[in-house]
């Protein structure tokens, strides 16, 4: 069993427990009563007009399967507020409990504290989670191509759009990018972490990102250690970067986000000068 398979199995078990507490129809009612979703596609630079701006998706993340415990986040709302003050375009909140130490309680605390789009970062394996995300005020959900067949990928993406949300559709290979494009994904993430070994290879980003249509927002996932990595991803076609570890371990995440944004903007501008953007 791969790491992804193991995580997905745990996620499925945990969501069944929540479903017994709040049945699907009740969750649908809560989702329909929630305030309208914010436009995360626009926040990440999607649309007709593209600026020389690198967007940062800043993550509230306590731990990970590859690194173990990252930070003791006692006040996720305060951390998220610092992200917003630093210029983050979107905030990602881990809600997977077993491997990442997250929760919907973390998500609710962040939602009450910030006014920018939120990504409910979990392993979506059932439509219940999408309704649940919307009920808690999510504007984005994560759809991992490797964890879904084409039918469920299409159905889940359609449901997010039906609910006024967007989806970050995560890919790891050229074949997965083709599948993401085929279902009409507008925000496509390229995760350079190998799902089997958990190793990071930043060099694969360029070859994969180059095959994503210009109409989509391209998000670089994993491997951001510092501003140099942000500049690398931006120069190779990223419109946004998703950053967790480098922020939660930093004593001034707002300043770090501002630095990442400046570095990314410089790299994007240079890319356009050279006719690559």
Task: Report the mean per-residue pLDDT for the chain.
Answer: 92
pLDDT tens string 196-223: 788 899 999 999 999 999 999 999 999 8
Q: Which domains, from first to last, does the chain contain? A: 3-273 (3.20.20.70)
What is the distance between the alpha carbons of residues 133 and 31, in angstroms, rounded to a whole number? 8
What is the spatial distance between Cα 261 and Cα 86, in angstroms, rounded to a whole number?
9
Cα(264)–Cα(220) distance, integer angstroms: 12
List C-alpha distances in Å: 80 to 113, 160, 257, 277.
Answer: 7, 24, 12, 31
User: Which of 63, 64, 82, 222 does the annotation list as catalytic?
Assistant: 222
pLDDT at residue number 70: 77
**Is 97 tagged catalytic?**
no
The average pLDDT across 62-85 equals 86
DSSP state of 163: T
> For this structure, is 85 an active site residue?
no
67 catalytic? Reply is: no
Q: Which of 84, 121, 166, 245 is catalytic?
A: 121
Taken as a whole, the chain contains a residue count of 277
Looking at the whole model, is its pTM more than 0.85?
A: yes
Cα 171 from Cα 154, distance rounded (Å):
14
Predicted pLDDT of residue 48: 61
Per the listing, tokens 């953007």 go with 277
Average pLDDT on 229-256 reads 92
State yes or no: is 245 an active-site residue: no
Position 61 scores a pLDDT of 86
179 pLDDT band (50/70/90 cuts)?
Answer: very high
């Amino acid at each position: 069993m791969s790491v992804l398979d193991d995580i997905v199995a745990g996620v499925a078990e945990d969501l069944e427990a929540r479903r017994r507490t709040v049945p699907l129809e009740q969750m649908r009612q809560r989702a329909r009563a929630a305030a309208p979703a914010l436009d995360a596609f626009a926040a990440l630079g999607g649309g007709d007009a593209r600026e020389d701006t690198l967007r940062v998706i800043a993550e509230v993340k306590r731990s990970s399967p590859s690194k173990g415990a990252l930070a003791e986040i006692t006040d996720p709302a305060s951390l998220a507020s610092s992200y917003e003050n630093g210029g983050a375009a979107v905030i990602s909140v881990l809600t997977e409990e077993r491997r990442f130490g997250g929760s919907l309680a973390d998500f609710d605390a962040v939602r009450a504290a910030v006014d920018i789009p939120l990504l409910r970062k979990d392993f979506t394996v059932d439509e219940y989670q999408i309704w649940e995300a919307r009920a808690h005020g999510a504007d984005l959900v994560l759809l991992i191509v490797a964890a879904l067949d084409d039918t469920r990928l299409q159905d889940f993406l359609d449901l997010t759009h039906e609910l006024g949300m967007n989806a970050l559709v995560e890919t790891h290979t050229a074949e997965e990018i083709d599948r993401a494009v085929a279902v009409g994904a507008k925000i496509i993430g390229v995760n350079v972490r190998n799902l089997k070994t958990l190793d990071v290879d930043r060099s694969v980003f360029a070859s994969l990102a180059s095959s994503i249509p210009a109409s989509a927002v391209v998000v670089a996932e994993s491997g951001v250690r510092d501003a140099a990595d942000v500049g690398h991803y931006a120069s190779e076609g990223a419109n946004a970067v998703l950053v967790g570890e480098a922020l939660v371990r930093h004593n001034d995440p707002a300043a770090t986000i501002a630095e990442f944004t400046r570095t990314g903007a410089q790299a994007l501008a240079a890319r356009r000068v050279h006719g690559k953007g």
